[in-house]
């Protein structure tokens, strides 16, 4: 199985898991929008990390976010929390992507974005609501780890 096949399998299983979980939740789950873009953010992290136009220093940030995303053991563990545990992964992905975009890779990110809407706006929305999604203590620890 190639790296691309593993990426596609993770992407598909993540989308199925999150969608299934959200269907069982009461209407109005506040952060559903951000959970639903988790697979798209993961996809973008991987595509940018493999793109030859992205500098190596930025790829290191992307690799850290990818590793955090796929690790079952993190600050809000997916194993214990289910798909709700992906909110911290979404925040970390947005934080890493924001850094890469601010380093001049915004057009490449837009080109590689497979999700709906403007990825740059979405990333800003996620970062702006990360304290609310995760709690200030968790978000502060995550940011300091990736800064």
Instruction: Flag whether pLDDT at 79 surpasses 80.
Output: no
d(CA 90, CA 97): 10
The residue among 106 and 3 whose pLDDT is bigger is 106
Global confidence as pTM: 0.81
Q: Give the mean model confidence (pLDDT) for residues 48-69.
A: 94
Query: Strands (DSSP E) along the chain, which ranges?
Result: none
The residue among 33 and 50 whose pLDDT is bigger is 50
Residues of the chain above pLDDT 70, percent:
84
5 pLDDT band (50/70/90 cuts)? low
The residue among 1 and 114 whose pLDDT is bigger is 114
Instruction: Provide the residue range defining the domain that includes 103.
Output: 3-146
d(CA 4, CA 114): 15
Domain count, the chain: 1
Residues 117-131 have pLDDT tens digits of 999 999 999 999 998
DSSP code of residue 26: P
Residues 6+ apart with CB under 8 A from 40: 113, 114, 115, 116
Hey, how many other C-beta atoms are within 10 angstroms of the C-beta on 55?
Answer: 11
Hey, how many other C-beta atoms are within 10 angstroms of the C-beta on 57?
Answer: 9
Q: What mean pLDDT, rounded, does the chain reach?
A: 84
Q: Give the mean model confidence (pLDDT) for residues 39-67.
A: 94
d(CA 26, CA 34): 16
């Amino acid at each position: 199985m190639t790296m691309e096949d593993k990426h596609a399998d993770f992407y598909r299983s993540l989308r199925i898991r999150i969608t299934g979980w959200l269907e069982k939740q009461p209407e109005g789950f506040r952060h559903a929008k951000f959970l639903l873009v988790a697979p798209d953010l993961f996809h973008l992290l991987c595509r940018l990390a493999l793109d030859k136009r992205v500098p190596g220093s930025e790829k290191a940030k992307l690799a850290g976010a990818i590793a955090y995303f796929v690790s079952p053991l993190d600050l809000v563990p997916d194993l214990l929390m289910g798909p709700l545990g992906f909110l911290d992964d979404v925040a970390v992905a947005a934080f890493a992507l924001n850094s890469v975009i601010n380093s001049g890779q915004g057009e490449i990110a837009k080109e590689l974005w497979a999700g709906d809407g403007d990825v740059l706006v979405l990333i800003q929305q996620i970062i702006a609501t990360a304290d609310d999604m995760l709690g200030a203590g968790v978000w502060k620890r995550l940011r300091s780890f990736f800064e």
